[in-house]
Structure 1
Amino acid sequence: MQSRTPSTQFAGAEAEDQLSEQLAAMVNTARRRAARDGDRQIDTAHLLHSLLESDREVWDLLDGGAGGAGAVEGGGGATATGGGGAGPADPESPPSSSVSKLLGYLVQRSIGYGLRWQNTVEDSGAVPAIAEQPGGVAGWSPAVTAAMDAAASRMRARGAESASGADLFAGLLADEDCRAVEVLRRAGIDLDAVAGRLREAERQDREDHERDRALSGGGDGHIPGRR
């Protein structure tokens, strides 16, 4: 999907106009969930929930490309699914036990662990209202803004024109103290293995991008992987 504007930094009053349609839909879903839970702001756990519901590529990143059959724990191998949204081999496959467990944990937010987050700001320290912060986005926690910026950086690194769900997922993982990572840890997700799969997917995307440029005459003629 194409970006609505060429901007690659999600900040300021027009931040949501800078999102791809895919990410904008995820943010809208997260906003509705936050409102239903009585939260003033979208936080990274809301975004993680939206990702898991709408982007099956993230399932592969969690399960090592198992397509609904694998387990996260012990999955140290890097199985790339690509950053652009290739998705699992079987788009109709049910979620794996690990993804199901994670979704079930996220659903319990409003009646369990998430109660302590109500009426608080997701950040490493006390901060004023988001709209009062330089570069802040009203309705987004500081951690969400940082994750969106990290997603834009990963998008640029792999040569894409719009940020994917995998880019946002990587942005969430970049902040070890955010609520999304806390949820992943509590659900027993092997974060090191997931990070390895994301790095491999990004590397493959960069190589594919450079190969396409070389074949189209837009590069230096060198195709990665060839001498």
Structure 2
Amino acid sequence: MPVDPRRSAPSAAQREQPQPVGPLASVAARARRRALRAGDPEVDTGHLLHALLESDDSVLGVAAPMPVQATRLMGYLVQRSIGFGRLWRLGEGAADRDSERSAGLAWSAPAAEALDGAVRRASGTVLDLLAELAALPDSRAAEILRGAAIDPAAVVQRCRAQAAAERTAW
């Protein structure tokens, strides 16, 4: 079928929302609400990380196993959610505000990639999403983790180890 030159690739505001199920659907909905409440132009990996940490207590223990890390991480997210992170809007391909209003809230490419990656895994768990978020080195989620003195690569390793332990426990 020939390609219509008048049709271009979808803009950031036209990207479709990933289609998670189960606990991941709840996390995605929370992230979307968080972005809407903040007036952000799109759902980014920071919104996903924040929603993920809110949705499952065990995720915080895997992401930040030391109390000082957990405190820093949650403090950082609280600051971001009350407005100290407004400059974050300029990253991860922030959608154009006018097209955003007309087309609905978009997902940043890294956020959609992380959520899709977790959905495609056989287990599709919250730890899969945490690992996907931490594995994106230039994402806001990874930057947030580093800001709390947490190594994103170590988070990925802990997620994989936890998943393996859960599989062998069956």
TM-score normalised by the shorter chain: which range applies?
A: 0.7 to 0.9
Aligned 1:95-174 pairs, distance under 5 A: 96-109=67-80, 110-112=82-84, 114-118=85-89, 120=90, 122-123=92-93, 139-153=106-120, 155-156=121-122, 160=123, 163-174=124-135
Higher-Rg member (1/2): 1
Runs of 4+ off more than 6 Å: 126-129
Alignment root-mean-square deviation, CA: 2.8
Match of 1:21 in 2: 22
Task: State the Cα deviation string for residues 86-129 of structure 1 (Å, max 9, x = none).
Answer: xxxxxxxxxx34223211111111432x22223x4514xx8889
Question: What is the Cα deviation at residue 62 of structure 1?
Answer: 2.4
Q: 1:35 to 1:99 in 2, by over 3 A?
A: same
2:41–2:96 Cα contact (<8 Å) kept: no
TM-score by length of 1: 0.57
Match of 2:162 in 1: 201
**Residue segments in structure 1 that go unaligned for 5+ positions in a row:** 1-11, 65-70, 72-95, 132-136, 213-227
Match of 1:33 in 2: 34
Greater RCO, CA 8 A, separation 6+: 2
Aligned 1:207-226 pairs, distance under 5 A: 207=168
**Count of aligned pairs:** 150
Query: Which structure is higher in helix share?
Result: 2
Question: What is the Cα deviation at residue 165 of structure 1?
Answer: 1.0
Which stretch of the first structure deviates more once superposed, 98-107 or 166-175?
A: 98-107
Identical counterparts, % of pairs:
39
Question: What is the Cα deviation at residue 138 of structure 1?
Answer: 5.6
> 1:192 aligned to 2:143?
no
Match of 2:9 in 1: none
